[in-house]
Structure 1
């Protein structure tokens, strides 16, 4: 190769090298996975990315002895304390993890929360408000202020709803049967963003379980994760409710269907396993062993007491690993985006009794 060609080649190589820029440093600071051996858990670990929490349902032995989680974080991020350090829950100290992004710019603090259901009875007297999006959610009146209930509110927040508790389908109301507050669910009109993906309305919902925001607008039925760990055999599902259907029932396209009245939905489902069911299988899964359903979802102007038995649909034992879900909606067909805007369901003083 002559000197001229060699010189040209060298210049080209230098120019090519000069054009190669370093890849930007990863700015993400998330906990991606949080693993604990299944023998220590009564349900799957849930990472609540919206509120930066790790929710654990532990066996009594695991709670007493502590656990050693294996944790993965965003690529290049730093975790404090590190994966493999033990967690203990016998003190009042809060267990937290701090994730610092590879870029060093972003940082997120996750709080580890042990979920505990002591008494299966709820009056919905204590509510909190999400700091950013301003939706409300009920918590338990115990020393841990457990959050065992969820709703579609976190997903609806992603659709551009104004940051105001009254803009969300689930909220607290003073229209209570007992005490100061009750749970109110109202079917509301979709937003401009939700309508782009074909969602014309949002039914008010309340359920035992958690909400997974992953692809919430595109796979919303997968986002609703139903169930909390249950021990024994339930006997009856009881409480008080009132219901007013909206004026105009509409189908998924938003077309008003004359002659059809909206109705509410309220039921409890007992199922085997430690993995939660979701909106695609909560009424069809072959893991379901018992169901208790409100028989009449029609208008009810004043509070009415319901008391329905659990009907066994498959044989099971009280010693099985079980989960129990309670699901309520202001529009029975709300999971198919059908219903009447303005339909209102109010619940108070609910409980599950045991055999």
Structure 2
């Protein structure tokens, strides 16, 4: 049946289908109407039926109408194709218009007799144009090798203004899913869109992914944006973009290109330093085991100020700077608030005017500042990390505090900012570590990223994509640090009182 249909259309379209619809003599003069209202390019769709059965529906196609005479038009359906076959142009020439109210009609009849293919066909065309909308019906009664076949082609379209875009592109393709670890990458040249997913994502997870798609202005994408598709088991989904003027069409093949490892930190669980008998010394700890916290904070330093500050004439009775909060994206979040610790010294070790609230992957040894004479040595940044980190993601919001104090403890006119950073560095042994004095300058740093921000009222996603300065070697040992600070220059003893950084749902994406 398909072969018969192919022959029918190929033969019809290889000829001048409608050589003369009617005579233009003594007909009404529609010249102005044709030029101003009818002639032009139309965009629409084709529906095709064979013996009453729909074999194609909604095929996008353009039709061009041009002036043939004072009351006649030409109609061109160019580059007609079906089932991937190019069947040429269909033309209706010198078609006589008739008018009823604001509706213009035209007809055409053609008989075919092609002995070579034993094909006989009577083709009847009828059409109407009303207020820029065109409908064309082709009724084809054919006999091919003695077999009778009836074909109907229906076209409906609207006249274009000429301002329609001819671009057919997917400009953005995203998923609002944490399972997608590497955002889709659009390759225009190859016509592909690839992305990576969490290695723990199941087939059921991947079969329900919902893409959000942005296309060129006025373009149409199929399947449409917001429609769930099955990307499991290596499935490749083909998306087709049709330009606004229907002149261009582009396809994209979308599929999962691999998996990645994900480490997630929700900050939902907290405990206290239960090793301290003095309740005011039991500072908040992230995690459920005070001996093995998931993240370390500057709370230990503030605990020493609370308990030993009197030895240096320092009194601080406020909150610990790093603590849990219900103001979160989900569950609990981590709140870091830079606090006024008055300044001074304990056992000769300087105490900042404002202690910048900080949480990080690593360990904290407040006594190192006393025993080794350098406060920077108290922060031991980084944990052993067996995977290659690519990106750190999460959500944050921030409010800068006031007043702002410089390292001399003098109030200055400066606006505070938060900082979120990540550093991967190579080590020879597990005892080796970077500290507050060299975490951003050491020669063994392999990759790093940093993000700064001023006030951000609502929770907003952040992303740190690590820039690799040296080649990653799977045979070597590495430590990885993620550092969250409510005052970006806090390590230099510069911060504002009350600067608040909220962070939630941090993920580390690894190769």
- Which of these residues, 385, 409, 415, is aligned with residue 261 of structure 1? 415
Which residue of 1 is the match for residue 268 of structure 2?
125
Please state if 1:185 is matched with 2:331: no
Runs of 4+ in 1 over 6 A off after TM superposition: 162-165
Q: Which residue of 1 aligns with 2:209?
A: none
**Is 1:137 aligned with 2:285?**
yes
**SS state at 2:369 partner:** coil
Ranges in structure 2 where 5+ consecutive residues have no aligned partner = 1-260, 310-314
- Displacement of 1:119 in angstroms is 5.8
CA distances 1:111-147 after superposition (whole Å, capped 9, x unpaired): xxxxxxx962100011111233021010169xx9942
**1:329-344 equivalent positions in 2, closer than 5 A:** 329-344=485-500
- How far apart, in 1, do the equivalents of 2:469 and 2:354 lie? 33
CA separation of 1:341 and 1:164: change in aligned 2, threshold 3 A: closer
| 1:90 aligned residue | none
Please list, as runs of the form range in 1=range in 2, the aligned pairs for 1:201-240 lying within 5 A after superposition. Answer: 201-216=354-369, 218-240=373-395
Helix, strand or coil: the match of 1:155? helix
1:165/1:174 CA distance change after superposition, 3 Å:
farther
Aligned twin of 2:447: 290
Residue by residue over 1:215-264, the C-alpha shift from the partner in whole angstroms, topping out at 9 and shown as x without a partner, is 43552210000111111211111000000001222111221212x21001
Q: Tell me the secondary structure at the aligned position of residue 491 of structure 2.
A: helix
Structure 2 distance, partners of 1:160, 1:200, is 14
The structure having more radius of gyration, on CA atoms, is: 2
CA distance in 1, matches of 2:425, 2:477: 9
Higher strand share: 2
CA deviation after TM superposition for structure 1 residue 346, in Å: 0.7
* 1:328 and 2:484 are equivalent in the alignment: yes
**Residue 401 of structure 2: SS of its match in structure 1?**
coil
* Conserved 8 A contact 2:316-2:341: no
1:10-68 residue CA offsets vs partner (Å, 9 max, x unmatched): xxxxxxxxxxxxxxxxxxxxxxxxxxxxxxxxxxxxxxxxxxxxxxxxxxxxxxxxxxx
Checking the alignment, whether the CA contact within 8 Å between 2:367 and 2:378 is kept in structure 1 is: yes
Q: Is the 8 A contact 1:245 1:262 kept in 2?
A: yes
Q: What is the aligned partner in structure 2 of residue 199 from structure 1?
A: 352
- CA separation in 1, counterparts of 2:399 and 2:412? 18
Where 1:176 maps in the other structure, the secondary structure is: coil
User: Number of residue pairs matched?
Assistant: 233
Say which SS state the counterpart of residue 377 (structure 2) adopts. Answer: helix
Q: Which residue of 2 aligns with 1:173?
A: 325
User: Matches of 2:291 and 2:328 in 1, distance apart?
Assistant: 21
Quote how far apart the aligned CAs of 1:193 are: 5.5
1:165: how far off?
9.8
Equivalents in 1 of 2:492, 2:397: separation in Å? 23
Partner of 2:240: none
Structure 1 residues 215 and 150, CA, compared in 2 at 3 Å: closer, same or farther? same
Q: CA RMSD in A?
A: 2.6
- Given the superposition, is the C-alpha separation of residues 166 and 256 from structure 1 closer, same or farther in structure 2, using an over 3 Å criterion? closer
Pairing 1:247–2:399 present: no
| Aligned pairs for 1:23-102 within 5 A | none
The answer for unaligned runs of 5 or more in structure 1 is 1-117
Larger relative contact order (CA 8 Å, sep ≥ 6): 1
CA distance in structure 1 between the aligned counterparts of 2:265 and 2:478, rounded to whole angstroms:
20
SS in 2 for 1:216: helix
Q: Does 1:281 align with 2:429?
A: no
User: CA deviation digits over 1:270-327, x for unaligned, max 9?
Assistant: 1111312110110001111011222x32111100001221110122213321110011
Q: TM-score, normalized by length of structure 2?
A: 0.43
Which among 147, 165, 176 is matched to residue 293 of structure 2?
Answer: 147
Closer, same or farther: CA 165–145 of 1 in aligned 2, 3 Å: farther
